[in-house]
C-alpha cells in the first residue's frame, strides 16, 4: 500500500463515528460505543443515587470502612512476582465487565468525566472542597460553610428580591455594622512614647514624664497630635445593654440571686460587696457591678511593641456567661491599711495616693483581686516547673550560694535527674489520648518544648501532672508532702463553691508549703529567690476570697483568649497601635450585635442536626436533668441483637445484675427487653461521650469516654455501701423496668484493678488489664457492667504511670480526691 493510500485509510477510520441508539452521543470507534452502552444497562449508579450519596457523605474525607495500610510498601509483601505461578483461571477485579460477544479487549473511556458529567451544584461542591484543602480549612469550619451556602441556596428567591443583594466582604460588613451600631470609639491625644493619655481638658504642650512634644513640630500641623488612640466608653456600652430588653434581663442576675448561708459561690457573697450594700450602693436593681483588669502582651517573642488590654467583666451576668527583684518570705506580713492608699506612705514605697481611692467602692487591699491565670497558672505553675527542671535548664538561681560563691547542688530539695524528666515528658505525651476535652489544656510535653505554653496548660500541669507524675520522683517525703499541699491548696482556690471550713483547709495547705520553703532557706539548701511575689500572694488568697468571692467568678480566661486572637491579628498589621484599637472596636461591634440579636435565627440557618426533641431524650420529673443525646440506635432487642459490637445477651445479663445489685431483685424478670441506645450523655453541664460515639464520628484525638462512678452494693450485713470504680462507657441507653419506670443507664467496661498511689493515698490508680493476662498469654475477657447515669461522679482522664504501660493515674477536672482512695476502692466482685 502506498503511503498516500495508507494516510487516506487512517483518515477514514478516524472520521468514522458510531451513534448510541439510546442517546445523542457519538463515538469514534465501536468499542467505545459498547463501553458506553453499559451505562444504559445499569452498570453504574443513577444520578439520583449519586446525589443521595453526596448528601449522606457528611465528612467527605475518607472511607471509614477502609482498613488497608496505605504505608505498606511492595517490598514488604510476602510474595513477589518471581515467586508466583501464573494461573489463567484466577479472576481479578477490574473496572469493566466482559461479555462473551466482546472478546477480552477493552478500551478505557476517559469521556466519563467531561464538561457534561457534573451538575453546576456538584461542580461548586467540588470546587469548594478543593478550596478547603488548598487553604487547610478545619473540618468543623467546612461543615459550617456548607450549611451557610445551603441556606443561601434555599432562600435564593427571597434574597434576590432585596435591592443590591450579595454577600459582602469583611470590610463591608464592618462598615455596615458600624453604621447601624452606636458603639463608637473616642479619639484621645497620647504621648508618642506611650507615657500618658491627655484628657479632654489637659492643656499641656509636652509630656511631663519624657518631655516629648504633644503635637507635631511641623508648623503646618501645629495642632495635630504626634500620636493618638481611640477608646470606647464602658458607660456607653453598659447603657446600651440596659436599653435592650433582652440584655437587660440578663443583667438582672445580681438583683435576683439569693445567697446560701455558709457558702461562697459568687463575688456577691464576699464581704466587700456586702459592705457596699450596707453603705447604700447597689440599691437599684439596674445597678451594674463591674471589674476592670489590665494585661500586657507582645505580638512576637522578641517584639519591640507592647500592648495593654483593659478587660471588663460584668458581674451582673451569670458566672456561666462571664467565662467565655523583691523577696517576700514573711507569711505573717500585714496588708497595707486603707490610709496608705489614700494619702501614701513613703516608708512602704507608696509615694502618692492611688487613683482608685477616688472610687466610692474602694475598700483597700482587698479591692485588688487575685487572678487565677496569672497568680496560680502562669505564676505558681511556672514556678514549680522552674524549681524541678534545674537539671534540664541549667538554671542556678534557686541553689543556695555559699559565702565563697560555690553552689550547694547536692542538697537541693527539688532535684530530679534529667533522665527522669525525659521519662515524665514521655508519659505526658502517651497520656494525651486518654485526656477528655473537659481539661482545657493541651497536655503537651512541656519538658520538650515550652514555647507557646498557655496559662491553662500551666494550670493543668500544676493540678494534674505534678501530683501524679512529678511528685514520685522527688528525693524525699518532706518535699513530696509540701508540694502536694501546694497543689491541693491551689485546687481548693479554684472551686465553684467554698465554705469557711474549706477556706481554713486551704490556708493550712499554703502555710505548710510556705513553711517548708522557709525551713529549706534556713537550712541553706535553697536560695531566697524562691520567695517571689506570686509565692507571697498565696497566703492572701483565703482572705481575698472572703472579701471578693471566688477566684473563678472573676477569672480573666476570656481575656486570655482575646489576647491570643489579637496577637495573631496584629502580626498581620503594619500600623501598630492604630490597627490594634481598630481591632478592639471591631470586636466590640460584632460582640454587641451578636448579643442584641441571634444572627443564625434571623437568617434561619440550615443545621444538619437541629437541637429539637428528636435529638435528645430526657426523663419526666427527673431532678438531675440528665439527657441522652444522639446519635440513637432505636429499639434494640437484648434477646438476640448485637448492641454496638456486644452481644445482646451479655448486655441483658449485666442489666439483670444491675437490678439485683440496686433493688435486691432475685428473679429473672427485669422489664422490657427492647432498649433505646444513645451515644452521648449530658448531665451537670458536661457532655459524656462513649465508644459508640467515637466509632461513629471517628473521634480519636481525646478520651471523652472515661468515667468514675460509685457502685452501691449490699455488704454482708445487708448495708448499702459505695465504692469507686473507673470504666470506659460503651454506650448509654434507656430501659423500662419491671414496674414500667424508665431509667437512663450506661453499659461500661470496668477497669480490672483499682487502688491508690503509694506516694499519696488521695491519688487513684487503675489497671486496664489484670497482671495474669500477660502471664497466661491470652486476652482476658472484658468485664462489662450496667450502671445508672446518676452514679457517674466524674468524667476523668488517665495519666500514664511511668513503670507500667498498663497502669494509669486518674484525674478529674478541678476536683480534689482528698479522701483515702485505697479505703473506698471497688473491685469487680461487687458488680
pLDDT in tens, 720-742: 788 999 999 999 999 988 888 89
Of residues 352 and 772, which shows the higher confidence score? 352
Work out the angle between the directed axes of helices 271-278 and 541-548 (0-180°, nearest 10).
Answer: 40
| Domain residue extents for the chain | 15-40, 376-539, 616-830
Q: Measuring CA to CA, how many Å separate 97 from each of 88, 100, 572, 591?
A: 17, 10, 57, 61
Asked if the model's pLDDT at residue 319 lies above 70, the reply is yes
Average pLDDT (354-381) is 88
Asked if the model's pLDDT at residue 151 lies above 50, the reply is yes
pLDDT in tens, 637-652: 888 778 888 888 889 8
Q: Measuring CA to CA, how many Å separate 520 from each of 384, 412, 488, 707, 763?
A: 15, 9, 21, 40, 26
DSSP codes joined into one string, 533-589: HHHHHGGGHHHHHHHH--GGGG--HHHHHHHHHHHHHHHT-SSTHHHHHHHHHHHHH
What band does 590 get if pLDDT is binned at 50, 70 and 90?
Answer: confident
The pLDDT of residue 47? 37
Average pLDDT (480-508) is 94
CA distance 477 to 475: 7
CA distance 259 to 265: 8
The pLDDT of residue 340? 85
Asked if the model's pLDDT at residue 626 lies above 80, the reply is yes
Residue with cell 492611688: 354
Least confident span in 88-102, 515-529, 579-593? 88-102
Cell numbers describing residue 405: 560563691
The pLDDT of residue 85? 44
Asked if the model's pLDDT at residue 303 lies above 60, the reply is no
Determine what percent of the chain falls in helix, strand and coil, rounding each to the nearest 5. 40, 15, 40
The pLDDT of residue 124? 86
pLDDT in tens, 531-561: 988 888 898 999 999 999 899 888 877 666 6
The pLDDT of residue 519? 94
Asked if the model's pLDDT at residue 478 lies above 90, the reply is yes
CA distance 534 to 374: 9
Contact of 33 with 27, CB cutoff 8 Å = yes
Contact of 297 with 571, CB cutoff 8 Å = no
Cell numbers describing residue 779: 486476652
Average pLDDT (618-636) is 82
Least confident span in 61-75, 350-364, 553-567? 61-75
What band does 64 get if pLDDT is binned at 50, 70 and 90?
Answer: very low
The pLDDT of residue 493? 94
Average pLDDT (442-455) is 90
What band does 583 get if pLDDT is binned at 50, 70 and 90?
Answer: low
For the chain, the distance separating the N- and C-terminal CA atoms, rounded to the nearest angstrom, is 93
Q: What percent of the chain has pLDDT over 90?
A: 30
CA distance 615 to 607: 12
Cell numbers describing residue 510: 499554703
Least confident span in 168-177, 265-274, 669-678? 669-678
Least confident span in 125-139, 183-197, 217-231, 694-708? 694-708
The pLDDT of residue 817? 86
C-alpha triplet 417, 422, 424: angle, nearest 5°: 95
Average pLDDT (404-426) is 94
The pLDDT of residue 100? 60
The pLDDT of residue 700? 59
The pLDDT of residue 563? 62
What band does 241 get if pLDDT is binned at 50, 70 and 90?
Answer: confident
Helical H runs in 201-299? 234-243, 245-250, 253-256, 271-278
The pLDDT of residue 596? 67
φ, ψ dihedrals at 149, nearest 5°: -65, -40
Least confident span in 369-383, 681-695, 753-767, 774-788? 774-788
Largest CA distance in the chain: 119
Asked if the model's pLDDT at residue 695 lies above 90, the reply is no
Asked if the model's pLDDT at residue 290 lies above 80, the reply is yes
Average pLDDT (412-418) is 95
Closest C-alpha among 357, 321, 274 to residue 555: 321
What band does 301 get if pLDDT is binned at 50, 70 and 90?
Answer: low
Asked if the model's pLDDT at residue 425 lies above 80, the reply is yes
Contact of 107 with 32, CB cutoff 8 Å = yes
Q: Measuring CA to CA, how many Å separate 146 from each of 121, 128, 150, 152, 153?
A: 12, 9, 6, 10, 11
Residue with cell 492608699: 341
Average pLDDT (340-350) is 79
Q: Please state, rounded to an integer, the average pLDDT across all residues of the chain.
A: 79
The pLDDT of residue 754? 94
pLDDT in tens, 819-829: 899 999 998 88
CA distance 480 to 512: 12
DSSP codes joined into one string, 378-444: IIIIHHHHHHH-HHHH---TTSEEPTTS-EE-TT-TT---HHHHHHHHHHHHHHGGGS-TTS-S---
The pLDDT of residue 593? 72
What band does 424 get if pLDDT is binned at 50, 70 and 90?
Answer: very high
The pLDDT of residue 25? 63
Least confident span in 337-346, 504-513, 551-560? 551-560
The pLDDT of residue 775? 45
C-alpha triplet 509, 515, 517: angle, nearest 5°: 110
What band does 218 get if pLDDT is binned at 50, 70 and 90?
Answer: confident
Amino acid at each position: 500500500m502506498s503511503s498516500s493510500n495508507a494516510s487516506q485509510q487512517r483518515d477514514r477510520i478516524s472520521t468514522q463515528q458510531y451513534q448510541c441508539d439510546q442517546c445523542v452521543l457519538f463515538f469514534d470507534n465501536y468499542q467505545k460505543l459498547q463501553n458506553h452502552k453499559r451505562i444504559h444497562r445499569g452498570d453504574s449508579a443513577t444520578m439520583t443515587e449519586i446525589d443521595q450519596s453526596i448528601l449522606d457523605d457528611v465528612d467527605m474525607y475518607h472511607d471509614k470502612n477502609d482498613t488497608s495500610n496505605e504505608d505498606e510498601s511492595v517490598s514488604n509483601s510476602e510474595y513477589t512476582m518471581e515467586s508466583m505461578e501464573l494461573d489463567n483461571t484466577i479472576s481479578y477485579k477490574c473496572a469493566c465487565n466482559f461479555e462473551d460477544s466482546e472478546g477480552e479487549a477493552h478500551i478505557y473511556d476517559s469521556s466519563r468525566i467531561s464538561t457534561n458529567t457534573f451538575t453546576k451544584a456538584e461542580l461548586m461542591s467540588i470546587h469548594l472542597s478543593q478550596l478547603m484543602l488548598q487553604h487547610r480549612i478545619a473540618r468543623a469550619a467546612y461543615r459550617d460553610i456548607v450549611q451557610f451556602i445551603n441556606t443561601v441556596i434555599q432562600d435564593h428567591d427571597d434574597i434576590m428580591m432585596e435591592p443590591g443583594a450579595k454577600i459582602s466582604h469583611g470590610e463591608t460588613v464592618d462598615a455596615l455594622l458600624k453604621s447601624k451600631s452606636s458603639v463608637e470609639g473616642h479619639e484621645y491625644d497620647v504621648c508618642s512614647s506611650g507615657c500618658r493619655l491627655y484628657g479632654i481638658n489637659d492643656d499641656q504642650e509636652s509630656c511631663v514624664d519624657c518631655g516629648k512634644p504633644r503635637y507635631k513640630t511641623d508648623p503646618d500641623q501645629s495642632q495635630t497630635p504626634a500620636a493618638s488612640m481611640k477608646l470606647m466608653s464602658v458607660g456607653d456600652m453598659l447603657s446600651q445593654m440596659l436599653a435592650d430588653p433582652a440584655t437587660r434581663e440578663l443583667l438582672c442576675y445580681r438583683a435576683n440571686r439569693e445567697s446560701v448561708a455558709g457558702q461562697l459561690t459568687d463575688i456577691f457573697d464576699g464581704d466587700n460587696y456586702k459592705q457596699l450594700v450596707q453603705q447604700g450602693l447597689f440599691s437599684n436593681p439596674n445597678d451594674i457591678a463591674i471589674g476592670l483588669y489590665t494585661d500586657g502582651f507582645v505580638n512576637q517573642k522578641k517584639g519591640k511593641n507592647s500592648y495593654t488590654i483593659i478587660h471588663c467583666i460584668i458581674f451582673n451576668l451569670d458566672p456561666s456567661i462571664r467565662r467565655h527583684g523583691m523577696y517576700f518570705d514573711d507569711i505573717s506580713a500585714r496588708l497595707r491599711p486603707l490610709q496608705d492608699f489614700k494619702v501614701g506612705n513613703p516608708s512602704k514605697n507608696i509615694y502618692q495616693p492611688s487613683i482608685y481611692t477616688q472610687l466610692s467602692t474602694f475598700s483597700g487591699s482587698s479591692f485588688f483581686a487575685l487572678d487565677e491565670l496569672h497568680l496560680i497558672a502562669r505564676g505558681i505553675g511556672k514556678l514549680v516547673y522552674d524549681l524541678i527542671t534545674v537539671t534540664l535548664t541549667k538554671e542556678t538561681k534557686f541553689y543556695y550560694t555559699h559565702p565563697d560563691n560555690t553552689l550547694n547542688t547536692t542538697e537541693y530539695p527539688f532535684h530530679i535527674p534529667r533522665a527522669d524528666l525525659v521519662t515524665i515528658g514521655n508519659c505526658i505525651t502517651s497520656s494525651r489520648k486518654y485526656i477528655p476535652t473537659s481539661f482545657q489544656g493541651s497536655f503537651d510535653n512541656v519538658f520538650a518544648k515550652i514555647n507557646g505554653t498557655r496559662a491553662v496548660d500551666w494550670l493543668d500541669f500544676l493540678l494534674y501532672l505534678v501530683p501524679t507524675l512529678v511528685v514520685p520522683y522527688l528525693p524525699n517525703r518532706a518535699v513530696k508532702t509540701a508540694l502536694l499541699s501546694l497543689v491541693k491548696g491551689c485546687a481548693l482556690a479554684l472551686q465553684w463553691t467554698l465554705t469557711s471550713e474549706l477556706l481554713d483547709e486551704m490556708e493550712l495547705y499554703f502555710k505548710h508549703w510556705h513553711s517548708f520553703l522557709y525551713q529549706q532557706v534556713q537550712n541553706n539548701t535553697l536560695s531566697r529567690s524562691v520567695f517571689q511575689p506570686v509565692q507571697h500572694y498565696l497566703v492572701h488568697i483565703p482572705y481575698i476570697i472572703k472579701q471578693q468571692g471566688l477566684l473563678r467568678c472573676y477569672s480573666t480566661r476570656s481575656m486570655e483568649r482575646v489576647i491570643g486572637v489579637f496577637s495573631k491579628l496584629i502580626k498581620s498589621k503594619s500600623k501598630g497601635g492604630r490597627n490594634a484599637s481598630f481591632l478592639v472596636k471591631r470586636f466590640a461591634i460584632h460582640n454587641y450585635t451578636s448579643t442584641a440579636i441571634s444572627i443564625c435565627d434571623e437568617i434561619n440557618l440550615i443545621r444538619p442536626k437541629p437541637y429539637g426533641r428528636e435529638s435528645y431524650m430526657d426523663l419526666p420529673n427527673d431532678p438531675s436533668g440528665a439527657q441522652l443525646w444522639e446519635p440513637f440506635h432505636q429499639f434494640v432487642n437484648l434477646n438476640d441483637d448485637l448492641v454496638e459490637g456486644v452481644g445482646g445477651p451479655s448486655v441483658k445479663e449485666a442489666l439483670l445484675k444491675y437490678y439485683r445489685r440496686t433493688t435486691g431483685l432475685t428473679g429473672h424478670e427485669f422489664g422490657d427487653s427492647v432498649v433505646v441506645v444513645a451515644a452521648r450523655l449530658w448531665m451537670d453541664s458536661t457532655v459524656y461521650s462513649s465508644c459508640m460515639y467515637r466509632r461513629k464520628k471517628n473521634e480519636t484525638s481525646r478520651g471523652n469516654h472515661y468515667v468514675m462512678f460509685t457502685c452501691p452494693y449490699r455488704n454482708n450485713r445487708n448495708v448499702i455501701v459505695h465504692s469507686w470504680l473507673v470504666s470506659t462507657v460503651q454506650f448509654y441507653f434507656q430501659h423500662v423496668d419491671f414496674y414500667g419506670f424508665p431509667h437512663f443507664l450506661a453499659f461500661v467496661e470496668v477497669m480490672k484493678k483499682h487502688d491508690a498511689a503509694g506516694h499519696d493515698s488521695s491519688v487513684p490508680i487503675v489497671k486496664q488489664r489484670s497482671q495474669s493476662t500477660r502471664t497466661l498469654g491470652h486476652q482476658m475477657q472484658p468485664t462489662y457492667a450496667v450502671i445508672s447515669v446518676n452514679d457517674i461522679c466524674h468524667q476523668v482522664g488517665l495519666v500514664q504511670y511511668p513503670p507500667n504501660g498498663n497502669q494509669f493515674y486518674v484525674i478529674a477536672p478541678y476536683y480534689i480526691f482528698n479522701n483515702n482512695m485505697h479505703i473506698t476502692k471497688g473491685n469487680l466482685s461487687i458488680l
